[in-house]
Amino acid sequence: MKVLNAVIRFLGSFGLAAAILFLLTVLTLLGTLAQEDVGLFRAQQAFFESWFVDPELVGLRLSRIGLFDVPIMPGGMLLMVLLFVNLVIGGMVRMRLKARNVGILITHLGIAWLLVAGVYKQVTADEGGLQLFEGEQSAEYVSYHDWEILVEERIGAVAADGTAEVKQWVLDGDRFTDAVGPRTVTLHTDDLPFRLTVSGYLDNVTIDRARPGVPPATPVVDGFFLVSLPREKENEMNLAGCYARAIRADGSSSDGILIGSDRTLPWTVAAEGRTFAVKLRKRRFDMPFTIHLDDFIHEYHPNTRMAKEYQSQVTVMDGDQEVPVRIRMNEPLRRDGMIVFQSSWGPTNAGPGQKLYSGFSVVRNPADQWPYWSLWVITAGMLIHFIMKLTRFVGRELGGKQA
């Protein structure tokens, strides 16, 4: 019990709070500077979404400014969990309930709520993008960072416009991205007459033709092999790639290469008299409604190329309902837990009369408005606390002077 009390005292102490705040400041500084070297996405993963920071990344920065290497550095996740624990124990549970502490208590409640909102979003939210030309519509959006393996089979005749009805299977989320180095991952669904074994997953690749006398570092399939490229700073620019082996029920197999590019043809697999196309593509998410882009308007400030405004007039189709909505910068569409933001447009070099597309960011975030409400809780708490302190101080000063 004594030890438990000591641990609780330590976890709720000012000392731990100060240490966490100091380390968080340093971590934020290093994670910010590292963005120059490795880009935002990787710095975010390495510094702020990790339990411990890769010492090499920390050292990279510190050695640049002439400091020593750090063997171990707690990451953002660890520090924020500790901060939450410290806040709850020291700033709420163990805090003495007095009138003068009310403001602090409310502030801590608000900050705890904000931290919970961050974690909840991290766990539950999906985000991606959607591009629509005027007249187009969509009920799905595309992840910026995550990949998926899609298997397609044509089940109807090809129509006059070249389209055909297809059946699609998405294989087991993003588990295949673990197939790095010697590891393999097997994906399977009962509807398919084959299982897929993925190996040699790489974050950023190009494909090359094998040449006699030059043995490649990766396996060669049908005369081609994957070449690993350095990761781009802008994560959206990376093209993932992997090797796949389709193993049929009769034990026979065929090998293929998958690249996350629209410009390469899908790998075809034949099994039990059926033909399947296998693709690596950015992950798709469904929306609970369809968005139809009616009109896109963009304006420059007069006689300049500086964007003044761009906005999309869309129709939200939800069952029988059709609702006209305007989406513009700082005025997103919020509906059914989805938030759709105006983010870009193009082609930027479009000529007069040429159709434009509107780019949207789409987020599914159940905690979307939590920071907003926590802000007011925090502000109320701080105002109560500081006004009480100021009143006491002024009273003391004036009292002192009058005396």
DSSP string for 129-189: EEEEETT-EEEEEEEEEEEEEEEEEE-SPPPTTS---EEEEE-STTGGGG--TT-EEEE--
156: phi then psi, degrees, rounded to nearest 5: -130, 175
118 binds another protein (CB under 8 A): yes
Cβ atoms of 285 and 139 within 8 Å: the answer is no
36 binds another protein (CB under 8 A): yes
5: phi then psi, degrees, rounded to nearest 5: -60, -45
206, two tokens: 């190009």
Q: Tell me which of 10, 15, 155, 336 binds another protein, using CB under 8 A.
A: 15
Least spacing, CB of residue 307 vs another protein, in Å: 4
Contacts of 135 (CB under 8 A, 6+ apart): 292, 293, 294, 355
101 binds another protein (CB under 8 A): no
Q: Which amino acid is at 341?
A: F
The packing angle between helices 370-402 and 102-124, to 10°, is 160
Q: Tell me which of 10, 51, 133, 300 binds another protein, using CB under 8 A.
A: 300
CB atoms near residue 24 (< 10 Å): 17
21: phi then psi, degrees, rounded to nearest 5: -65, -40
Tell me if residue 299 falls in helix, strand or coil.
strand
Q: What are the residues facing 253 on neighbouring strands?
A: 247
Q: Which is nearer to another protein, 196 or 363 (by Cβ)?
A: 363
DSSP string for 243-256: EEEEEETTS-EEEE
Least spacing, CB of residue 178 vs another protein, in Å: 25
CA distances from 367 to 47, 101, 148, 363 (A): 23, 28, 26, 11
Q: Tell me which of 61, 82, 89, 127 binds another protein, using CB under 8 A.
A: 127
Query: Restricting to residues 314-333, which ones interact with another protein according to CB under 8 A?
Result: 329-332
Question: How far is residue 240's CA from residue 235's CA, in Å, rounded to a whole number?
Answer: 10
What value does the CA radius of gyration of the chain take, rounded to a whole number of Å?
28
Q: Which is nearer to another protein, 42 or 292 (by Cβ)?
A: 42
Least spacing, CB of residue 22 vs another protein, in Å: 6
Q: Which is nearer to another protein, 51 or 393 (by Cβ)?
A: 393
Kindly indicate which of the ranges 195-203, 214-222, 276-284, 380-388 contains the residues binding another protein, using the contact rule CB under 8 A.
380-388
Least spacing, CB of residue 129 vs another protein, in Å: 9
6 binds another protein (CB under 8 A): no
Kindly indicate which of the ranges 18-26, 176-184, 268-276, 318-326 contains the residues binding another protein, using the contact rule CB under 8 A.
18-26
Q: Tell me which of 6, 9, 10, 22 binds another protein, using CB under 8 A.
A: 22
150 binds another protein (CB under 8 A): no
Kindly indicate which of the ranges 58-66, 210-218, 278-286, 379-387 contains the residues binding another protein, using the contact rule CB under 8 A.
379-387
Q: Tell me which of 137, 189, 268, 379 binds another protein, using CB under 8 A.
A: 379
Q: Tell me which of 162, 182, 212, 302 binds another protein, using CB under 8 A.
A: 302
241 binds another protein (CB under 8 A): no
Residue ranges in contact with another protein by CB under 8 A: 13-15, 17-18, 21-22, 24-25, 28-29, 31-33, 35-36, 39-40, 43-44, 47-48, 114, 117-118, 121, 127, 300-310, 329-332, 339, 341, 343, 361-363, 368, 371-372, 374-375, 378-379, 382-383, 386, 389-390, 393-394, 397
